[in-house]
Structure 1
Amino acid sequence: MQMKEIGFGAAQPVDGYGPGFFRVGGRPVDGALCLSIEGLVAWGGLEDLDPLLELAGEVDVLLVGTGSQMEPLTASTLARLQESGLGVEVMSTPSACRTYNVLLGEGRRVALAVMPV
């Protein structure tokens, strides 16, 4: 079997997560986070849509992790994100982190907005 190195370019994958924190680029980050090719962005959680709306046109899909369990977004939140042109996929935070890393490794234009577990 031939193994290939995965290059993430300027983007950073999620190295790990735990109760209330994430590890990105080897550094711990407390609380919710938004991560894209541009790097780590401050995010206030599910009610803070401005940082997510700024990603419109920059990414094809936004993965939203709602914590340890998948919870649906409110209809108004989902509508605002989709109206901006973002493709939105909602899932649990662990699933969102794994999916983000895979899509990032494939060179896809992806962003991640996750609540801590």
Structure 2
Amino acid sequence: MKLTEVQFGALKPIDGYGPGFFRVGGEVFQGAVLVTPEGTKPWSGSADPAELLALHGSVDVIFYGAGADVAHPPKALREALEAAGIGLEPMSTSAAARAYNVCLSEGRRIAAALLPV
């Protein structure tokens, strides 16, 4: 079997994460983060949907990493994103990071809103 290394080009994958931090494209971020193909920035969390709604038109789906365990996002957040036509996929943070990297390598229009583990 031949293994092929995933190529991200100029895009920055999620390299790792741990208690309270994320490493994206070699840069370390403390706390919750919003990761998009355009860049990574601190995220204020699910209480304020404005940061995620601002992605309208640039992403089709946001992977919602809820921490160590799967948890549903707040109803108001889910409804606001649905009204804007943005899909929201809740999962654990580890699953969201993996899904983001796979979809990023495929050139999909995605983002990851990640709460720390």
* TM tier, smaller: over 0.9
Superposed, which structure 2 residues align to 1:18-29 within 5 Å? 18-29=18-29
Give the match's secondary structure for 2:79. Answer: helix
Paired position in structure 1 for 2:96: 96
Distance (whole Å) between structure 2 residues aligned to residue 9 and residue 85 of structure 1: 28
1:14 corresponds to which letter in structure 2?
A: I
What SS class does the counterpart of residue 78 from structure 1 fall into?
A: helix
2:87 equivalent in structure 1: 87
- Please state how far the C-alpha of 1:95 moved relative to its aligned partner: 0.5
Number of equivalences? 117
Q: Which residue of 2 aligns with 1:10?
A: 10
For normalisation by structure 1, the TM-score amounts to 0.92
- Measured on the aligned residues, the alpha-carbon RMSD in Å equals 1.2
Q: Would you say the 8 A contact 2:35–2:41 is kept in 1?
A: yes
1:58 aligns with 2:31: no
CA distance in structure 2 between the aligned counterparts of 1:51 and 1:86, rounded to whole angstroms: 12
TM score, norm. by length of structure 2 = 0.92
Q: Structure 1: how far apart are the matches of 2:3 and 2:74?
A: 42
Query: Match of 2:56, as an amino acid?
Result: A
Structure 2 residue matching 1:8: 3-state secondary structure: coil
CA distance in 1, matches of 2:102, 2:110: 10
Q: Structure 1: where are the runs of 5+ without partners?
A: none
> Shift of residue 64 of structure 1?
0.5
Work out the CA distance in 2 between the residues paired with 1:20 and 1:72. 20
Question: Which amino acid is 2:110 matched to?
Answer: V
* Separation in 2, partners of 1:21, 1:71: 19
Q: Distance in 2 between matches of 1:37 and 1:71?
A: 25
Deviations 1:20-66 (A, max 9, x none): 00111112110000010110123111113211111111011110001
Contact kept in structure 1, 2:63 and 2:100, CA below 8 Å: yes
Q: Do the aligned partners of 1:35 and 1:112 also contact (CA within 8 Å) in 2?
A: yes
Question: Aligned partners of 1:9 and 1:49: how far apart in 2?
Answer: 30
Displacement of 1:80 in angstroms is: 0.3
